[in-house]
């Protein structure tokens, strides 16, 4: 359970409410159009609640990286359509006009401040900048789960100046992730894949204390296989993490966690849809070949584990799913999760993209909107943007 106050725990009526949303949406490089409005749609519940309760609403968010100076104009447009109400973009937060507009907002009116990353002060969590942002509200609502793992001016800094609570998206994310990892229906099966052992050491270590079964996939497989003395050909391997991999295997044994590595895999000489592929044992990859997806025996093995699970937590694709040649393992895992009666939770940006690609999003219990934030949560870390909010 989340122990933080939410918008429901405070009176927002006729108050100016500063809402930090996650409007960091992907834009088409050529047309500048929004290619997925998922994050905007996910923010509507909180915004509509505030509107229904007669708040004066001041939205803010970052989009893209500092220095890129991307405008939130397409977001303001899309929001206006979705909310059936004009959402005015306030381009210059230093201007008198912006102050005027914000201080004279009517109840239910909604404005959007321009990209908080137009200045370096945002990521530096500069207190002067945070204070300026805070001056636009009387209450702060953080609903940007995607940046909750960062202590920036608009996520953490502002909480020093305003009473601060969470929105519905943050509440939903934390409840799903917390339930899945800390209070799961057992057996709890975690599938951890992706590109690197190094980026997943934290998750693997934290999950060893929580899960009943750990299934490994993706490129990190080969660092583990190497640690066991197998032949991995040209597969990705982090030589400096072989010892860490051996240590994780040992800990799993000590803790009684069933940690399974793939038994077979799809190998090829290059990552391409035109190249010839072969199936072989995961520890007998010929020279010149790379392991790029889990093989059919592993798919069956892992499906069996998913079938008997009470909860499945998945982070990291089990193959190079961006290529048709190497997507089957990831697709079959996603399908097995969608078909199972288990609570199914997906964290990680690329894993969520894979589930979306296969059209299985609606059949999962929870697909996190925050790649990095969900990963840090799974590592057992505290998220500063959430820690800073008022306790219940
Ligand atoms: P997430 O964003 O879900 O946490 P990661 O960022 O850790 O996942 O990893 C995703 C990437 O891992 C994908 O781009 C995928 O192509 C790559 N990947 C998966 N398996 C392999 C493999 N066997 N070899 C190389 N790359 C792989
Ligand atoms: Mg990723």
How far is the centre of ligand 2, averaged over its atoms, from the C-alpha of 287 (Å)? 28
Measured distance CA(150)–CA(153) in Å, rounded: 9
CA of 320 to the centre of ligand 2 (A): 12
Asked, as a colleague might, if the bond just before 93 is cis with ω within 30 of 0, I would say: no
Mean of pLDDT values over 227-247: 97
| CA 52 – CA 49 distance, rounded (Å) | 5
Give the pLDDT of residue 140.
98
Q: Point out the residues that are catalytic.
A: 39, 196, 349, 372
Nearest CA to ligand 1 atom 10: 194
Residue 364 sits at the vertex; the CA angle it makes with 362 and 366, to the nearest 5 degrees, is 100
Distance CA(286)–CA(220), nearest Å, equals: 18
Rounded to two decimals, what is the model's pTM?
Answer: 0.94
Average pLDDT over every residue of 8-29: 97
Q: Report the C-alpha gap between 160 and 381 in whole angstroms.
A: 21
Is the four-CA dihedral 166, 171, 173, 179 of positive or negative sign?
A: positive
* High-pLDDT (> 90) share of the chain, %: 98
Cα–Cα distances in angstroms (integers) from residue 149 to residues 141, 175, 313, 385, in the given order: 16, 16, 19, 6
Give tens-digit pLDDT for 326-376: 999 999 999 999 999 999 999 999 999 999 999 999 999 999 999 999 999
pLDDT at 183 over 90: yes
CA of 348 to the centre of ligand 2 (A): 6
Residue 392 has pLDDT above 80, yes or no: yes
57 closest CA partner among 12, 99, 116, 9: 12
- By the CB criterion, residues less than 5 angstroms from ion ligand 2 are 349-350
159 φ, ψ (degrees, to nearest 5): -70, -15
**Nearest to residue 200, comparing CAs of 316, 336, 111, 105?**
316
Q: What is the pLDDT of residue 311?
A: 98
Q: Ligand 1: residues within 6 Å at CB?
A: 193-195, 199, 218-219, 236, 291-292, 315-317, 319-320, 322, 348-351, 371, 375
Is residue 293 classed as helix, strand or coil in its secondary structure? strand
Q: In this model, does residue 1 exceed pLDDT 80? A: no
DSSP annotation string for 158-180: GGGTS-EEE-HHHHHHHHHHHHH
Mean pLDDT confidence for 262-272:
98
pLDDT of the residue at 2:
80
For residue range 337-346, what is the model confidence (pLDDT) as tens digits?
Answer: 999 999 999 9
């Amino acid at each position: 359970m989340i122990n933080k106050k939410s918008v429901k725990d405070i009176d927002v009526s006729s108050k100016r409410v500063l809402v930090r949303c996650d409007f960091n949406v992907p834009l088409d490089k050529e047309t500048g159009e929004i290619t997925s409005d998922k994050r905007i749609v996910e923010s509507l519940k909180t915004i509509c609640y505030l509107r229904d309760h007669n708040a004066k609403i001041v939205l803010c968010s970052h989009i893209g990286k500092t220095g890129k100076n991307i405008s939130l104009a397409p977001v303001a447009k899309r929001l206006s359509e979705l909310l059936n109400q004009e959402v005015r973009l306030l381009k210059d937060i230093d201007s008198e006009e912006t102050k005027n507009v914000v201080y004279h907002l009517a109840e239910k009116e909604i404005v959007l401040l321009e990209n908080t990353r137009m200045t370096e002060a945002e990521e530096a969590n500069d207190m002067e900048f945070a204070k300026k942002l805070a001056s636009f509200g009387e209450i702060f609502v953080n609903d940007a789960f995607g940046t909750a793992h960062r202590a920036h001016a608009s996520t953490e800094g502002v909480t020093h100046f305003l009473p601060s609570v969470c929105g519905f998206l943050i509440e939903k994310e934390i409840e799903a992730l917390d339930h899945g990892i800390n209070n799961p229906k057992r057996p709890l099966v975690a599938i951890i894949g992706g590109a690197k052992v190094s980026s997943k050491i934290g998750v693997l270590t934290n999950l060893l204390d929580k899960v009943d079964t750990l299934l490994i996939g993706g490129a990190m497989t080969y660092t583990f296989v190497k640690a066991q003395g197998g032949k991995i050909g040209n597969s990705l391997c982090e030589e400096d993490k072989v010892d860490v991999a051996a240590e994780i295997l040992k800990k799993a044994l000590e803790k009684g966690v069933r940690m399974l590595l793939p038994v077979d895999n799809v190998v090829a000489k290059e990552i391409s849809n035109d190249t010839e592929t072969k199936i072989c044992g995961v520890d007998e990859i010929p020279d010149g070949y790379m392991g790029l997806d889990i093989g059919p025996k592993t798919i069956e093995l892992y499906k069996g584990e998913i079938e008997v699970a009470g909860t499945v937590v998945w982070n990291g694709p089990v193959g190079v799913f961006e290529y048709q040649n190497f997507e089957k393992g990831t697709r079959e895992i996603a399908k097995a999760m969608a078909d199972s009666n288990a609570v199914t939770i997906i964290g990680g940006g690329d894993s969520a993209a894979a589930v979306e690609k296969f059209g299985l999003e609606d059949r999962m219990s929870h697909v996190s909107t925050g790649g990095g934030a969900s990963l840090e949560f799974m590592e057992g870390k505290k998220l500063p943007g959430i820690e800073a909010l008022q306790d219940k």
